[in-house]
Structure 1
């Protein structure tokens, strides 16, 4: 009887460690912000129709300049 309890306890500890590690890994991935490059943002906004071609070209040329 004590062997069964010991085996169940060990299995519970292993399950808790695996579950805890999975939750920590998932939480660490969720916290990392995805940083978009300015050019990619402009391409997406132009493709979505948020800005017109003139605005797109003006802003792209501004990003190409070294300040």
Structure 2
């Protein structure tokens, strides 16, 4: 090792950190994309304000429907969601 340092080789330098950080970034991006795709597929996001539960919640908040009707319709929507295994 002494001869290598004496010959002018000073070790791997800062590049030794670039490759692990690159792969960490790749893994984080893949996980983020997969989670977002799963959320959209399950209706947790992506439907935005036009998703059935969001529309129902907005109508209840604005006073268009009362609490009993809200609970009844929400039960129908969530039961339908559970009955088909989460697929739409």
Q: Report the TM-score when normalising by structure 1.
A: 0.51
Deviation at 1:53, TM superposition (A): 1.2
For residues 7-66 of structure 1, give each alpha carbon's deviation from its aligned partner in whole angstroms, at most 9, with x where no partner exists.
Answer: 1xx13232111111111111111111233647x8xxxx5xxx82611112333454548x
Q: Check if 1:30 corresponds to 2:32.
A: yes
Indicate the residue corresponding to 1:11 in structure 2: 13
Q: Measure the CA separation in 2 of the matches of 1:53 and 1:59.
A: 10
TM-score by length of 2: 0.42
Greater percentage in helix: 1
Q: Which has the higher contact order (CA 8 A, sep 6+)?
A: 1
Residues 25 and 61 from structure 1, CA distance in 2 versus in 1: closer, same or farther, beyond 3 angstroms? Answer: closer
The separation in 2 between residues aligned to 1:16 and 1:56, in whole angstroms, is 50
Structure 2: which 5+ runs fail to align?
Answer: 1-5, 45-52, 61-69
CA RMSD of aligned residues (A): 3.4
